[in-house]
Structure 1
Amino acid sequence: MQNLIDTLKSGGTILYPTDTIWGIGCDATNIDAINKIFEIKKREKNKSMIILVESEKRLQDLVEVPEMAWEIMDLSEKPVTIVYDNPKGLPKELLADDGSIGIRLIKDNYLKKLIGKLNKPLVSTSANLSGDKSPLKFSDINQEIINSVDAVAEENHEKISEYSGSSVIRLWKDGRVKVLRE
């Protein structure tokens, strides 16, 4: 894990198992690293990416968390990404056109340790070329992706993900809620 942390801190990109599928990640405050992920995935820059945080405090440092968000996170059995308005301290390159950002407060211990040691939010986007199927296990990942990142996690290569992605729920300041992905 230390090689992943060193890579992230030096502005590199990593391939790692998330609480859902395998992901490509970087320090969510590093614009150059974020742009590199867009290049690796051959993804249009107007498609936003989500970030992972390991603690309620880090989440609250980034966004104003409505009561409804806490309830959704508590009740959800599968990992849930919530899209919030007006994040603080994140580069515009990460945000959707409307200025929102998807953030997942993770429960997975491996990720909590990784993000905690990085001490910054972590970008998470599926480890596939744009338009390809999301990788449920390491062996599903395109070799081009593996060759493009700066470091690859050594953990969980045999594990098959229980989830093909997180639920995604959009919350607005005025209390509106919309499920974007079950």
Structure 2
Amino acid sequence: MRCFIAIDLDKKVKKEIERVQKIVGSHFRGKLVEPENLHITLKFLDDIDDMTIDAVKERLSLIKFQSFNLVLKKITVFRRKSIKMVWLEVDEVPLQKVIDDGMKGLFKRKSNFIGHITIARVKRFHGEVDFMKLLGELEINKLKINVSEFFLKSSVLTKTGAIYKNLEKYDLV
């Protein structure tokens, strides 16, 4: 099963993201992430078997961490040879390092992790240079995100997009 660990977003943050999606969405061919699928990725686990899922659940249940706040920082892109995703960066996520440490031995540590919210997956642009200029000029409301829980989620890929399901919820103290 394809799994990841994430923080869900409140309505206020999703509304801001929808505003940004409306502005950037006409500049490329691709898919905007549906509001119900918006989240902050903490760790992507990929395809894992039931035994590994059980081990992940057990390790995540041992995490004791204070609730905290994050702030939306800026809109940016992820690229390999070309731009593949548009995302919103958030502050450094201290919980992510704790999760990474807790997964030691099960998964590789990602030292270059950037807290982000994927807002669009790109197939092709209608002028990449103009799009990058737009991103540089786009004002993001630097909303505060209160984090009091996180989730282990599954992801099923379909022709119409990913379907996410919460497998387990973990409350912060």
- The two structures have a TM-score, normalised by structure 1, of 0.25
Task: Give TM-score, length-normalised by structure 2.
Answer: 0.26
User: Over alpha carbons, which structure has the higher Rg?
Assistant: 2
Give the number of the structure whose residues are more often strand, by fraction.
2
